[in-house]
Amino acid sequence: MPAKIAIVGAGITGLSAAYTLEKLGEDDITIFESSRRLGGKVYTNHIKEFLVEEGPDCFFTRKEGALSLIHEIGLESELVAPKTKEFGLFTSGKLHRVPGGLVTFTHLTPNAINDATFLSPEGKARALAEADQMPGQEDDESIESFFTRRFGPEFYRLAAEPLLAGTHGGDGGSLSMRALYPGYFRLERSYGSLTAGMQETKASHPKGISGSAVVVDPSLPVQSPPHSSFLTFSGGMGTLVEGIAAQFKHTKVRLNSPISDANALSDLEQEYDRVLVAVPANAAVWLLPEFRYLLEQIRHKSSAIVTFSVNRKHILSEMNLTGFLIPKHEQGALSGATWSSEKWSHRAPAGQVLMRAFLAIDEEQMNQADDEHLARLASDAIRQIITVSGPMNPLLVTRWNQALPQYKVGHLDLLDSLRNDLRSRPKIFLAGTSYGGIGVPDCLRQGKEAAYTMLDLK
Ligand SMILES: Cc1cc2nc3c(=O)[nH]c(=O)nc-3n(C[C@H](O)[C@H](O)[C@H](O)COP(=O)(O)OP(=O)(O)OC[C@H]3O[C@@H](n4cnc5c(N)ncnc54)[C@H](O)[C@@H]3O)c2cc1C
């Protein structure tokens, strides 16, 4: 019998859940969204002639969840691959190219390690001895512990920390390998070594092993979109939000409709057969205070991004990279930057470069400083890395307060406890960025899985 279903939150998780529920034949779905727009953190802005992503800029194609949905809703033709995949690392006062296999950590070959100009001969020798190290025994461990143990401290500090922990805005010493990179974690435990595991499984996964999850989505048609580990949409990531919402036939969307506290959630529970709480844990805690002791353990970090336009003729450094990261121990005000328009040419008019700078400042400083101050901080830091002979024009300063979930060691056990305790509220379901995966594909997958779980389907 069809159910009456409420979804709290119209981020990409809530939208994916509603879309799947409709596909499964449900026709009484209402989404309650506190803000005045759909998409949550997925937000494409158009400023002057620039396409500015305020949140996600692209998605990882080697994870299950995104490409199959994009195919189903007919958005494949809108996908674009990056113009260049070269990424940089700024360390010891120099910008280095990160070898291809290390950018996504999908091909950790001896060649990739040998080509890493930022590693010392000793650092390379230690990293190349990865296969000789004993496998770990713990149920979970931090990114720092895993990569230091396997590849040595230098490789951790200069490669794994910036590329795997830094991209989560977090501290590699506490982030969970098992929750964030289960693929690598399992490979080591199964094959005794990560590189040996990658070699062994190469035949069955010719596109490489993703640390995060499944590499090849079996439901994909052979005729698939541009081949790249990362893709975006020509009209920006907002295309995905609009594309999913355009499929709705029965879903009612209530914007400016926050479910503001535990009583409001209880009212929904009375009125609806199922309620999906598709908001981050730090918002869910106000709706489910009895689970505060678990939800509050999932911390979220803040992040400030300054987007600039720069006249191309004023950039005197070579622009053959899509951007760079800075290892944590060498960061000043900046953790990294991307040259968005070098990666995706459609984002800036001819003759202009669109830059996105990620500030490495704490939340208090982010909220106290005005836009002008943050823009100056970012431009000063960038000018220390590349030579810009003219103005860097700030287009936008985005403050993401408590928006980056931190999956700490033991995160998956915490989720088990949460799932277990939630049995006391059988009509309530939780999904989204704070729980079973952070990226856009993870959230799309979680929305889909939540729809099946709510209907008690496999
Ligand atoms: C700066 C940044 C960059 C990122 N870059 C990438 C990237 O390049 N690639 C990638 O794959 N991922 C990236 N991510 C991660 C990805 O964007 C998010 O994990 C994902 O969009 C989260 O979706 P969600 O639906 O789970 O949560 P959200 O997007 O947070 O959606 C939750 C929704 O719930 C609403 N809400 C909250 N409380 C209530 C309430 N009480 N009542 C009603 N509504 C409520 C919110 O307004 C929001 O719309 C990035 C994230 C950030 C912050």
Nearest to 170 by CA among 299, 305, 338: 299
pTM of the predicted structure, to 2 decimals: 0.94
Residue in 12, 16, 37, 41 to alter for ligand 1 test, most ligand atoms within 8 A of Cβ: 41
pLDDT tens per residue across span 161-170: 999 999 898 8
Determine contact, residues 382/357, Cβ cutoff 8 Å: yes
Nearest to 451 by CA among 282, 294, 302, 278: 278
pLDDT category, 103, cuts 50, 70, 90? Answer: confident
> What is the pLDDT at residue 209?
46
Residue nearest to atom 5 of ligand 1 (CA): 56
Nearest to 170 by CA among 18, 415, 335, 313: 335
Q: Where are the domains of the chain?
A: 5-42+237-298+407-454, 102-201, 299-406
Q: Please compute the mean of the pLDDT values over residues 287-305 and round it to a whole number.
A: 97
SS3 of residue 226 by DSSP: coil
> What is the pLDDT at residue 325?
95
Q: Which atom of ligand 1 is nearest to the CA of 283?
A: 38
pLDDT category, 200, cuts 50, 70, 90? Answer: confident
pLDDT category, 295, cuts 50, 70, 90? Answer: very high
Higher pLDDT, 341 or 151: 151
Q: Say how far apart CA 167 and CA 309 lie, in whole Å.
A: 23
Q: Please compute the mean of the pLDDT values over residues 362-383 and round it to a whole number.
A: 96
Q: What residue ranges line ligand 1, CB within 6 angstroms?
A: 8-14, 32-35, 40-42, 55-59, 258-260, 278-280, 283, 303, 400, 403-404, 432-433, 438-440, 443
299-406: CATH, from 3.30.1330.200, 3.90.1150.10, 3.40.50.720, 3.90.660.20? 3.90.660.20
Angle at 167 between CA 296 and CA 161, to 5 degrees: 100
CATH architecture assignment, domain 102-201 = Orthogonal Bundle (1.10)
pLDDT tens per residue across span 204-223: 655 544 555 333 333 433 34
> What is the pLDDT at residue 306?
98
pLDDT category, 327, cuts 50, 70, 90? Answer: very high
Q: Say how far apart CA 180 and CA 442 lie, in whole Å.
A: 11
Tell how far the Cα of 405 is from the centroid of ligand 1, in angstroms: 10
Q: Is the dihedral of CA 88, 344, 11, 258 positive or negative?
A: positive
> What is the pLDDT at residue 221?
38
> What is the pLDDT at residue 211?
56
DSSP 425-444: STTEEE-STTTS--SHHHHH
As given in the structure block, the two tokens for residue 402 are 């408590």
Q: Which atom of ligand 1 is nearest to the CA of 12?
A: 25
pLDDT tens per residue across span 140-194: 999 999 999 999 999 999 999 999 999 898 899 999 999 999 999 999 999 999 9
- Mean pLDDT score of the chain: 92
Q: Say how far apart CA 365 and CA 376 lie, in whole Å.
A: 14
Q: Please compute the mean of the pLDDT values over residues 30-55 and round it to a whole number.
A: 97
> What is the pLDDT at residue 210?
52
> What is the pLDDT at residue 222?
37
pLDDT tens per residue across span 80-90: 998 877 889 99
CATH code of the region 5-42+237-298+407-454: 3.50.50.60
Q: Say how far apart CA 206 and CA 331 lie, in whole Å.
A: 36
Q: Say how far apart CA 287 and CA 281 lie, in whole Å.
A: 10
